[in-house]
Structure 1
Amino acid sequence: MRSYRLDSGAGLGGLRLDVSELPVPGPGEVLVEVRAASLSYREAMILEGRYVLPVRDGGIPLAEGVGVVSATGPDVAGPPVGARVVVAAFPRWQDGPFSLDVIDQIGGSLDGMLAEHVVLPAAALVEIPDDDLTDAEAATLPVAGLTAWNALTGGRGIRPGDTVLTLGTGGVSLFAVQLATAMGARVIATTGNEARVGLLRELGADVVLNYRDTPDWPGAVRAATGGRGADLVVEVAGNLESSLAAVALGGEIAVVGFVGGRPPASLDPYAVFTAGATLRPVAVGSRAQLAALVAAVSTHRIRPVLGRVFPFDDAPAAFRHYLGGTAIGKVVITLEPTHDNGGK
């Protein structure tokens, strides 16, 4: 069986191909033949050695992926052999609030999805219909899609008449535009690239603001909402001061991350107090939330936005493309069925 291994903080030089015996599932586990795996911003942080959670050196990377159950261990009630599945990034986080007790994560402290076969806990899997999404599309749900879903539904949620503000055109932000639109929200999206305005409108954004042309984009958000501001902000950039200036009184800022790098500690407590909003950190999501996302994607016929798809043999090129910062849509690595008996 072939897999890629990665050493945290070693850059792309730490990514290497490995050949090993086919793993055998134990009690409560299943063997999954991987069909596709997807990159997310956490991979960039792991490569640079700045990911906030533990990462095991020499582990298999990528938390996002989809595959087909090919064998089961003892005491497995489901999913059955032949089922197409995605896995929750935090396998032991079944439902409820996140805690340090369930901090072990796929593609970090646990082996990830960039392999021909992986052994996974059956309880962490969610079946995904074969006729809704391609494998490449389905592979994008467990991190980017689930993070957006948690940002939109895990706190105050979306209420009738709400305005949702999304920032940029990364994977989480594009999912947030699609999901918020499907849930009936009015969506305001920002971008610094005029060429991406059309995509955001196609996905459902009602208003698109170019923050390079409109430096006071929080003021523009308020103008577009009659002075109220956005009820829910999906904050991925780490620019909390601007998001606080754009959020409505009593609204929520779902703090997903800081793709622009870790910002200086300059947050003004006065700005937090006067905004009257809740700041809620988002750590991907639970298995229950992943199941809800899969159902919502199926119900609303949402198609994830794909950038480029690479074959398994070209995984290093996929990483280079993603790290180049020009990708629009998810970067996915696909695998062909192997029928592996351990000797490949």
Structure 2
Amino acid sequence: MKAYKLHGPKSLENFKLGDYDEPVVRDHEVKIQVKAVSLNYRDWALANGWFGYPGEKLPFIPFSDAAGLVTEVGASVTKFQPGDRVAVNFFPDWHDGAFTAAKTARSLGGSTDGVLAEYVAFPEDAVVKVPDFFSFEEASAFPCAGVTAWHALVVEGRLRPTDTVLLQGTGGVSIFGLQIAKLLGAQAVITSSSDEKLAQAQALGADLLINYKQTPNWEEKARELTHGEGVNYVVEVAGQMARSIKALKAGGSIFQIGAVGGPNEEAPNLAMLPINTQRLQGIYVGSAQMLDDLFKAFDRNQIKPVVSETFRFDQVKDALTYMGNGSHFGKIVVQVG
């Protein structure tokens, strides 16, 4: 089979396509013919050597998000059969329940082989059925970005129609967050440096728009737009914690997810959180059960994920470069088979 592997030292030059043996299916595993994979900021950062994982062994198969067709099942598998359409969870060992270190010790395309290959094999509990409503390309968009937003706003936030959510930028997590907020009837504030992207977000239901290039103090604008109260939730992906705290309502929560904006020297005043009974909650993707719930919620309400651009399997480096340019809106997908 064809597969990409990232060889050290990490860089796009060491992101190589090769021929490898297909995976052998064990008792509790399913073999999947990968049809599509989607990119996350983490994939770009790993490919460019921004960070690594303890115990990481190069070379490894990168990327974490895949959808495809079951072609073979192990002798003890009960949930799937050949021909099923499935997606793979980001954490192969986090099936259900709350976060633990053991459940998240292995993450696809980082501390263990990922999905950028024609065939993969995973335990059946790490795999989720894909509703017919979604194409393989659309289904591949859900596992990391979608589950992260769902975990934050639904599982931890228990979002209500009377809440206001602030979403930073228009990448995968933020756009899923926007769609989830509108699904649950909440008010959504979204930021971007592009009026064109803000218009796209508005078409998806965004209620309040902030161009942070034109309004650098976007946290003040967020308070102004919410009549001085601030927002109930911030989905913090940009690494702008100090500003996010200032945008937050008393009793509100910040869900800390990433730092796609790069290093930020402005230190947050965390001492103010307990005074305002505010909460800072780290979110690290989620479980296979969360992925299943997310698929069902979007399927039932006939909501499609937003795919910005689709690339061929031989264009993976182009897809990564496109992500690095920051011009996408929603998710970037690579077609595999």
Does the 8 Å CA contact 2:161/2:187 hold for their aligned counterparts?
no
The secondary structure found in structure 2 opposite 1:233 is strand
Tell me the secondary structure at the aligned position of residue 154 of structure 1.
helix
Letter in 2 for 1:293: L
Q: Distance in 2 between matches of 1:198 and 1:307?
A: 15
Q: In the TM superposition, what are the counterparts of 1:232-311 in structure 2 within 5 Å? A: 232-264=233-265, 266-311=267-312
The residue identity in structure 2 corresponding to 1:40 is N
Q: Secondary structure at the match of 2:271?
A: helix
Q: Does 1:105 align with 2:107?
A: yes
SS in 1 for 2:156: coil
Alpha-carbon distance between aligned partners in 1 of 2:139 and 2:205, rounded to the nearest angstrom: 20
1:43 corresponds to which residue? 43
Q: CA deviation at 1:287?
A: 1.0
Kept in 2, the 8 Å contact 1:164–1:185? The answer is yes
CA distance in 2: counterparts of 1:215 and 1:261, whole angstroms? 16
Does residue 43 of structure 2 align to residue 11 of structure 1? no
Partner SS, residue 188 of structure 1: strand
Q: Within 2, Cα distance between the matches of 1:53 and 1:98? A: 18
Report the RMSD for the aligned CA atoms in angstroms. 1.6
Q: 1:58-77 CA deviation, whole Å, 9 max, x = no partner? A: 11111011011000112111
Structure 1 counterpart of 2:69, which letter? Answer: V
C-alpha separation between the residues in 2 aligned to 1:315 and 1:39?
A: 10
Residues 96-135 of structure 1 aligned to structure 2 (within 5 Å): 96-102=97-103, 103-130=105-132, 132-135=133-136
Equivalent positions of 1:1-344 (< 5 A) are 1-7=1-7, 10-51=10-51, 53-54=53-54, 55-102=56-103, 103-130=105-132, 132-264=133-265, 266-336=267-337
Instruction: Show structure 2 runs of 5+ residues with no match.
Output: none
Q: Does the residue aligned with 1:267 lie in a helix, a strand or coil?
A: coil
Tell me the distance in 2 between the aligned counterparts of 1:244 and 1:300: 33
Task: Answer yes or no: is the 8 Å Cα contact 2:4–2:62 preserved in 1.
Answer: yes
Contact 2:242 2:266 in 1 (8 A): no
1:160-196, CA deviations, whole angstroms, 9 ceiling, x for partnerless residues?
Answer: 3111111111111011111110111011111111121
CA distance in 2, matches of 1:157, 1:114: 34
Would the aligned equivalents of 1:36 and 1:139 in 2 still touch at CA under 8 Å?
yes
Structure 1: 5+ residue stretches without partners: 337-344
CA deviations on 1:39-82 (whole Å, 9 max, x unpaired) are 10111221233336444311111101101100011211121111
Helix, strand or coil for the counterpart of 2:143?
Answer: helix
Counterpart Cα distance in 2 of 1:297 and 1:84: 16
**Paired residue for 1:339?**
none
* TM-score normalised by the chain length of structure 2: 0.95
After TM superposition, give the deviation of residue 317 of structure 1 in Å: 1.8
Q: Do the aligned partners of residues 170 and 275 (structure 1) sit closer, same or farther apart at CA in structure 2, a change above 3 Å counting?
A: farther
User: Counterparts of 2:232 and 2:137 in 1: how far apart (Å)?
Assistant: 33
Moved more, 236-245 or 223-232: 223-232
Letter in 2 for 1:306: V
* 1:66 and 1:138 in contact (8 A); partners too: yes
- Percent identity over the alignment is 36
Aligned to 1:341: none
- 2-side partners of 1:329 and 1:266: how far apart? 29
Count of equivalent residues: 335
**What residue number does 1:342 align with?**
none
| TM-score with structure 1 setting the length | 0.93
